[in-house]
Structure 1
Amino acid sequence: MIKVNKINKTYVNGGTELRVLKDVSFQVEKGEFLAIMGSSGSGKSTMMNILGCLDSEYQGEYLLDGIDISKMSQDELSEIRNKKIGFIFQSFNLLPKLTAVENVELPLIYSGIKKTERYKRAMKLLELVGLKERAEHRPNELSGGQRQRVAIARALINEPSIILADEPTGNLDSKSEEEIMKILIDLNKMGKTIIIVTHEPNIGESANRKIIFKDGEII
């Protein structure tokens, strides 16, 4: 499903160059659960941004379902993100003035889906993550674990084939962490390709395979 070949990424700050990815190459199979691991500054989050089509300033080849992502325009990248990839972030990224169900519906507004269909699909996903009863609550009325479950439902709303999760349990207590990881494992069993970025060994153990970064390289 994913093939990256000799990816290099360099940041330039003033006259100083910092090479954060160095000839990185790997593949991800359809239906795999992959953990990208490493300490802070190892390059794992930079790699995640490239995989999520959020960063196009790199050298090398990135193929997603056989499509050469590295040659796409910003509009084409936006379409790929909307159709193929669901994002889960450490900070949830929910809109505070919207209810849980409205936050889940949000990506469908940009797809031109009618309101009744949006609501129906969003409620089905909130039920999937065990939050149907909290659909009309706003984020400040939900616990951290509940907010992350809303974020997972939102990530699934466009039926993406890939879920990218960047430190999804970083702000959660151990009980909520277990609940979120169980949801991700269940989604993987349903056929979703899951790629999780984490520095926590116990989270990495949930994956089928681990790629460990250090100083911009896979070790």
Structure 2
Amino acid sequence: MSGEVVVWTYDLWKVYRTPHGTVSALKGVSLSVRRGEIVGIHGPSGSGKTTLLKILAGLERPDRGEVVVDGYDLNQLDDNGLAMLRNTVVSLIPQDYGLIEDLTVFENIELPLLLAKVPREERRSRVMELIDYMGLRGRERARPRQLSGGERQRVAIARALANTPSVLLADEPTANLDYENAIRVLELFKRVNKDFGTTIVIVSHDPRVLRYVERSFIIRDGVLKEVPPQEALGSSSA
């Protein structure tokens, strides 16, 4: 792990307007993550965790504040620039996996490579490399509905890694998994971090995540702060 900062935000604010008034999802969030770190952001539902991830992935824009990912100032990028960023620099694994049901495992993993116009043989080689890495050999022609929850999560991780992003964002990656598969996925994140040097940000309310991260943050009512693991554990059970 280097001392280089790869994810940086300063004074992020995000307000949603509803028929009943306004809701402040993020209130002055500042975050700094070094290259090669695994960090966990913990907090109850509705605390602002997913909103923060979406802003880091360029899926939403803050109402105020700065966000820089691997040298890219997201506030300065247009929609096409943000799409490029998501396909090559930062990958978000959504809680529902985000797989396309009509595509096979191979095709789901291949999609980011197609969008990046990677040549066919290089695509095939990269996809099969990831399928083997994830322990999915023999499942490449299966469709998502034929997979277990753990397999679906591994396909989602493989797809996120297709273009070797600098940063991987995971939204509640263990929420839909049983104990055995949850541990397997967390071990996989640790291995990805070690093997590829990928910076990983995990948002979760699962206390098991704390064993696999180097630094912990809690977020409550849109306010983020770094805390010792014991305090994050209390937040996760809230």
Offset from partner CA, 1:114-146 (integer Å, 9 cap, x none):
333212210100101111221122222221101
Map of 1:180 onto structure 2: 185
1:165 maps to what in 2?
170
Q: Which residue matches 1:214?
A: 220
Task: Write the deviation string for residues 58-85 of structure 1: whole angstroms up to 9, x where unpaired.
Answer: 2101122233212221111111111101
**Displacement of 1:27:** 0.3
Q: Percent of counterpart pairs with the same letter? A: 40
Whole-Å separation in 1 of the counterparts to 2:210 and 2:82:
28
* Inter-partner Cα distance in structure 1 for 2:136 and 2:124: 14
Question: Alpha-carbon deviation of 1:205?
Answer: 2.8
Are the equivalent residues in 1 in contact too, given 2:13–2:62 (CA < 8 A)? no
**127, 142, 159: which one aligns with 1:137:** 142
Within 5 Å, give how 1:70-85 maps onto structure 2.
Answer: 70-85=75-90
Contact 1:10-1:18 within 8 A present in 2 as well = yes
Task: Determine if the alignment matches structure 1 residue 114 to structure 2 residue 119.
Answer: yes
1:43 equivalent in structure 2? 48
- SS of the equivalent of 1:132 reads coil
Any gaps of 5 or more consecutive residues in structure 1? Answer: none
RMSD of the alignment, in Å? 1.3
Contact 1:37 1:212 in 2 (8 A): yes
Among residues 53, 60, 66, which one is paired with 2:65 in the alignment? 60
Structure 2: tracts of 5 or more residues without a match: 1-5, 226-238
Aligned length: 219
TM-score, normalised to structure 2's length?
A: 0.88
TM-score (norm 1): 0.95
Give how far 1:154 is off: 0.6
Instruction: State whether residues 13 and 28 of structure 2, in contact with CA within 8 Å, keep that contact through their aligned partners in structure 1.
Output: yes
4+ residue segments displaced more than 3 Å: none
CA offsets, 1:123-180, max 9 Å, x none? Answer: 1001011112211222222211011111111111011011111011111111111111
